Amino acid sequence: MQKDAYTLILEAIDGGVYRPGDRLVEAELAERFGVSRTPVREALQRLETQSMLARDGRSLIVASLDHNQLAELYVVRAELEALAARLAAKHATPEEVKVLADMVEADRAHLGDPAALSRANRRFHKQIHLASHNRYLVQQLDLVHRSMALLATTSLAAEGRGQTALAEHAAIVKAIADGDGEAAQAALRAHISKAFETRLKLDAGAARDVGEG
């Protein structure tokens, strides 16, 4: 099935082709994706309505999140992801649990490569969402993770965070495998909290470097 302009642009933002602050030009997008300008124009309008894009004069740029938006996003993400983990502990099939466990092991190969680890991290979390077997929750988490694409850096780029994050993933999978909803929920909430804390430290460091420049 051919992807529409909206999906193509969204995937490009999610994949880091376009970063927060980058300008999106209708003609360039149409040429890149091999589609006419009308669906591109409609897709840009839709993405602006969803706050994925922002106005910079007459131009549309990829939006970025300020400190308050970031905090609000992580609050919602922690609650919804924790719910997904609790439901996964109840509803995940043995095959789904095996896939999650295999992901944790395979992702060790990406240590030292924050970009690859970030992509693997998204796949892991998406698998938990699906294992919750709740379509409405999956839809809401898709929206949350779409907004995560507006973060310029990954918290997995922090020194030692990749190794710690994989250990946290392993604890989440164990709780799901044990069918312990409370433990799975607590483990995932703690994982998101640690990611947020790491991101705040990264942002504080970046702000300090800019101030020293």
Question: For residue 190, what is the domain's CATH number?
Answer: 1.20.120.530
Label residue 143 exposed, middle or buried (CB < 10 Å: 0-12, 13-18, 19+).
exposed
First to last CA, the chain: 49
Residues 37 and 94 occupy one common structural domain: no
Mean pLDDT of 87-103: 98
Mean pLDDT of 173-187: 98
Residues 91 and 188 occupy one common structural domain: yes
Structural domain of residue 157, as residue ranges? 67-212
> What is the count of structural domains for the chain?
2
- Give the CA angle between residues 10, 13, 15 to the nearest 5°: 105
**Of 32, 28, 94, 99, the residue nearest 60 (C-alpha):** 28
Q: What is the model's pLDDT at position 1? A: 58
| pLDDT at 210 exceeding the cut of 70 | no
Q: What is the model's pLDDT at position 52? A: 93
Banded model confidence at residue 203, pLDDT cuts 50, 70, 90: confident
Residue pair 152/61 in contact (Cβ under 8 Å)? The answer is no
Banded model confidence at residue 213, pLDDT cuts 50, 70, 90: very low
Banded model confidence at residue 15, pLDDT cuts 50, 70, 90: confident
Report the distance separating Cα 168 and Cα 173, nearest Å.
9
| pLDDT at 12 exceeding the cut of 80 | yes
User: CB neighbours of 141 closer than 8 A, spacing ≥ 6?
Assistant: 77, 80, 81, 84, 125, 129
| pLDDT at 207 exceeding the cut of 70 | no
Residues 138 and 51 occupy one common structural domain: no
Calculate the average pLDDT of the chain: 91
Residues 97 and 29 occupy one common structural domain: no
Mean pLDDT of 140-152: 88
Residues 194 and 89 occupy one common structural domain: yes
Q: What is the model's pLDDT at position 125? A: 97
| pLDDT at 31 exceeding the cut of 80 | yes
| pLDDT at 157 exceeding the cut of 90 | no
Give whole-number Cα distances, 49 to 17, 42, 53, in Å.
21, 11, 8
**Of 205, 119, 128, the residue nearest 154 (C-alpha):** 119
Residues 167 and 189 occupy one common structural domain: yes
Q: What is the model's pLDDT at position 206? A: 60
Mean pLDDT of 20-32: 95
